[in-house]
Chain A
Amino acid sequence: MSTSPDFLQITGLKTHFPVESGLVFRKVVGTVKAVDGVNLNLKQGEILGLVGESGCGKSTLGRTILQLIPATEGTVVLGGKTLTDLPANELRAARADFQMIFQDPYASLNPRMTVYSTLAEALQAHSSVKKNELPKLVGELMERVGLSPRYIRKYPHEFSGGQRQRIAIARALAVKPKLIIADEPVSALDVSIQAQIINLLAKLSKEMDLTLVFISHDLSVVKHISDRIAVMYLGRIVELGPASEVFDTPKHPYTKALVSAIPSLDPDMERTRQRIILQGDPPSPLNPPKGCPFHPRCSSAIDACKIDRPEFLTCGNQQVACIRANEIN
């Protein structure tokens, strides 16, 4: 029984990919620092929204936590077990505790297996189930995610995007995980279907006391479902705090720009608001700038920002990685 109140502890996590060059003798000429020092603690049953733009490393972070990509440095502790230290066979057995829901509902299911085969396989992955029990269990799983068991013998391509995503969620739930990381689960779906899937995830998470990490580039989607929000930029978390506060009163300059860029459904407001338009493009993790990763595009940057990496400062209810956090707010 875990005595620590934090169910998921991520400490100093780094995922670096070497860039090689050369035809015959491959030399390492650079490193893509996709995740560059992340610290995070989640309680059981908490929902964390992880936001950031392309190249910020949020997907890589999700996969590293789930040990789908090996971490270069740092540890991941889930329910007392240090996942980063587990040997291969123990890791495979431990996978029942943590699962992923992928972005592309068209690619995350084996196109040649029926719903029944896919879900039955998942059910049997970590526990022995009697063959005659399988149809009942699969049917129950399907109902749980809102799919009619009538379609148990259909193939993925016969379903819509939203339904495929439900199958993927059912598959993840089949092994009875404690942690689910959803990597942009609704980005590929139509707006009217997104809401259905978000509702489903929120409901399931509550029912099963799941710890959920919801990765998205869409702040408004994340704000609705999360307890806390973490904003990532270039491999690091730049702001962490309660969902509504990060959204309504962002403290980090990048978060401010992100929130400001979100289109609202209010034409009058859209026309009159002063948007914060960032200059330049999101930088590449191959050559991160020295000091604060955001300083080249930051309107509040000073000389000190170019020197040291900022640590978390407490500003209001949020943790902000900006040395000027308390000044500019």
Chain B
Amino acid sequence: MALLEVNNLTTNFHTRNGVVRAVNDVSFSVNRGETLGIVGESGSGKSVTCYSLMRLIPQPPGRIESGSAIFDGTDLLSCSERTLRGIRGKRVAMIFQDPMTSLNPYLRIEDQLIEPLLIHEKTNRADAVKRAIRGLEEVGIQDAKNRIRSYPHEFSGGMRQRVMIAMAMITKPDLLIADEPTTALDVTVQAQILELIKKEQKANGTAVIFISHDLGVVAGFCDRVNVMYAGRIVETAGTREVYYHPQHPYNRALQKSRPTGDMKGNELYTIPGLPPDLSRPIEGCAFAPRCEFAADVCRSQPAHLKVIQSGHFSACTRIQNKEITL
């Protein structure tokens, strides 16, 4: 049985300008120990999906309209607050994008690190601190015994992210949700942090949902990838399949527009147009206005995820009908 099974999740934001369908009927699953990558640009709904899972969406203006998220037998979306709090931080941990703002600037690292232990495992303070120091050492912070007494502002961005990882992993969670954890970091630090997450994952058998807009990062890191656009999953497959045999025009266009391996002097491939306005209802496939393969069927029929090959799903109607190949 999958560790996490998300079914038909729909989250809307009720704003002044209308109802924004941020997450539109999204379903996916994560197995134990697996790494799932969720890739998309801003507005694709990748972050909102995971925040919805943990019920961290501000309601209002957000609202989880429907769907279920079964985590090891418990539906995170409909269970009581109490049950949810027992899972959040203990069995499902989250690390966020901006290490500058995700730590409390007024508390020492020590106090923040031991908090999950004190709350979820009811350890006494001395033991918790010992474990916290070990946690810091594991994530590569030198001189952990002394540095644990520092405040967040005394650490660099990369170090703060390590502290966040230590905090997340200290209760040995079953699932780690990482929301763009390396986007705000330098490339060399990013490489360090990714290595670290991989190491922690292997040591504890933790499943990871890795959210990113960076296709390259996801390529080396994840077992499977969901590609999201305009609040829907448009393609999902094993990593190799997603990159070597893309089955959705958006996925392929995204890969092509990255300036790697292009010869200088040629124009970069660009995806024409802009992402759609999610407050307006969309007829047919959301990517159609920008797609080079768009046909009438794309604009009239809604696009749903269907299997193309074993384990490889695409929401492109024309690919499903075998009208085009990429």
* Contact sample, A vs B, 10 pairs, CB 8 Å cutoff: A54-B157, A160-B274, A190-B41, A195-B259, A195-B269, A258-B187, A261-B187, A261-B190, A263-B214, A263-B220
Mask for A253-278, Cβ within 8 A of B = 1, else 0? 00001101111111110110001011
Residue B258 lies at the interface, judged by CB distance under 8 Å to chain A: yes
A268 CA / B157 CA spacing, docked (Å):
30
Chain A residues in 8 Å Cβ range of B186: 53-54, 217, 282
Is B191 within 8 A of A275, CB to CB?
Answer: yes
With A261-B187, A265-B219, A271-B220 already in contact, the answer to whether A220 and B268 are too (CB < 8 A) is no
Interface residue? A225 (CB, 8 A): yes
Residues of B within 8 A of A (CB): 41-42, 156-159, 186-192, 195, 213-217, 219-221, 239-240, 243-244, 253-255, 257-260, 262, 264, 267-271, 274-275
Q: Check A282/B188 contact, CB under 8 A, given A263-B217, A265-B255, A267-B239.
A: yes
Interface residues of A in 161-220 (CB under 8 A from B): 162, 190-192, 194-196, 198-199, 202-203, 217-220
Query: Which of A191, A199, A282 sits near B189, CB closer than 8 Å?
Result: A282
- In the docked arrangement, what's the CA distance between A271 and B195, Å? 11
**Which residues of A come within 8 Å of B, CB atoms?**
53-54, 160, 162, 190-192, 194-196, 198-199, 202-203, 217-221, 223-226, 243-244, 257-258, 260-268, 270-271, 275, 277-278, 281-282
Least CB distance from B281 to A in Å reads 21
Taking a contact as CB atoms under 8 Å apart, the answer to whether A195 and B268 are in contact is: yes
Interface of A is mostly: helix
Residues B240 and A265 in contact, CB atoms below 8 Å apart? no
Closest to A202 in B: B267
Question: Which residues of A are found within 8 Å of B264, using beta-carbon distances?
Answer: 223-226, 243-244
Q: Please, which residue of chain B has its CB at the minimum distance from the CB of A206?
A: B265
What is the bound-complex CA distance between A150 and B195, given in angstroms? Answer: 49
Other A-B contacts than A191-B254, A195-B270, 11 sampled, CB-CB below 8 A, are A190-B275, A191-B215, A220-B260, A261-B188, A263-B217, A264-B216, A265-B260, A267-B219, A267-B244, A270-B219, A278-B192
* CB of B190, distance to nearest CB on chain A (Å): 7
- The docked-state distance in angstroms from the alpha carbon of A282 to that of B239 is 31
Residue of B nearest to A199 (CB): B267
B34 smallest CB distance to A (angstroms):
15
Q: Which of B190, B255, B262, B271 contacts A224 (CB 8 A)?
A: B262
User: Among B188, B219, B239, which residue has its beta carbon within 8 angstroms of that of A278?
Assistant: B188
Q: Determine how close the nearest CB of chain A comes to the CB of B239; give it in whole angstroms.
A: 5
Smallest CB–CB gap between B36 and chain A, Å? 14
**B315 CB to nearest chain A CB (Å):** 18
The list of the 9 closest CB pairs from A to B, nearest first, reads A270-B220, A263-B216, A53-B186, A195-B268, A224-B259, A261-B191, A190-B41, A192-B271, A195-B257
A184 CB to closest chain B CB (Å) equals 12
- On chain A, the residues within 8 Å of B253 by CB distance are 192
Contacts of B189 in A (CB 8 A): 53, 281-282
> Looking at the complex, which one of B157, B216, B254 makes contact with A262 (CB distance below 8 Å)?
B216
In the bound assembly, the distance between CA atoms of A218 and B41 in angstroms comes to 17
> Are A191 and B220 neighbours in the complex by a CB distance under 8 Å?
no
A162–B264 Cα gap in the complex (Å)?
Answer: 22
Chain B residues, CB < 8 A from A282: 156, 158, 186, 188-189
Residues in B neighbouring A281, C-beta threshold 8 A: 156, 158-159, 189
A258-B188, A281-B156, A281-B189 known; A264-B219 Cβ under 8 A:
yes
Find the residue from B239, B260, B262 having the highest chain A CB count within 10 A: B260
- Complex: chain B residue closest to A56, CB-CB: B186
- Closest Cβ neighbor of B39 among chain A residues: A191
* Chain B residues with CB below 8 A from A196, complex form: 270
CB-based nearest A residue for B222 = A267
CB distance from B241 to the nearest CB of A (A): 9
Instruction: Tell me which residues across on chain B come within 8 A of A265, comparing CB atoms.
Output: 215-216, 219, 243, 255, 258, 260
A202 to B270, CA, bound (A): 14
Are A277 and B254 in touch, CB under 8 angstroms? Answer: no
**Contact call B192/A277, Cβ cutoff below 8 A:** yes
Which A residues are in CB contact (< 8 Å) with B221?
270
Q: Please, how many angstroms separate the alpha-carbon atoms of A224 and B265 in the complex? A: 8
Q: Which residues of A contact B213 (CB under 8 A)?
A: 190-191
A123 to B31, CA, bound (A): 59
In the assembled complex, the CB of B273 is this many whole angstroms from the nearest CB of chain A, namely 9
Q: With the chains together, A266 CA to B258 CA distance in Å? A: 12
Chain A's closest residue to B186 (CB) is A53
Which chain B residues border A225 with CB–CB below 8 Å? 264
CA distance A54 to B190 in the complex (A): 12
Given contacts A53-B186, A53-B187, contact A191 B268 (CB under 8 A): no
With beta carbons under 8 angstroms apart, the residue of B195, B219, B262 that contacts A263 is B219
Complex Cα distance, B188 from A53, in Å, reads 8
- On whether the beta carbons of B156 and A192 are closer than 8 Å, the reply is no
Q: Please name the residue on chain B nearest to A297 by beta carbon.
A: B188
- Rounded to whole angstroms, the CA-CA distance of A243 and B263 in the bound complex is 11
A277 x B156 contact (CB < 8 A): no
Least CB separation from B220: chain A residue: A270
Q: Across the interface, name the chain A residue whose C-beta is closest to B212.
A: A263
In the bound assembly, the distance between CA atoms of A226 and B264 in angstroms comes to 8
Contact assessment for A267 and B240 in the assembled complex, using a CB-CB cutoff below 8 Å: yes
Interface hub of A221, A244, A263, A281 (most chain B Cβ within 10 A) = A263
State A243–B262 Cα separation when bound (angstroms). 12
Q: Whose C-beta in chain B lies nearest to the C-beta of A275?
A: B191
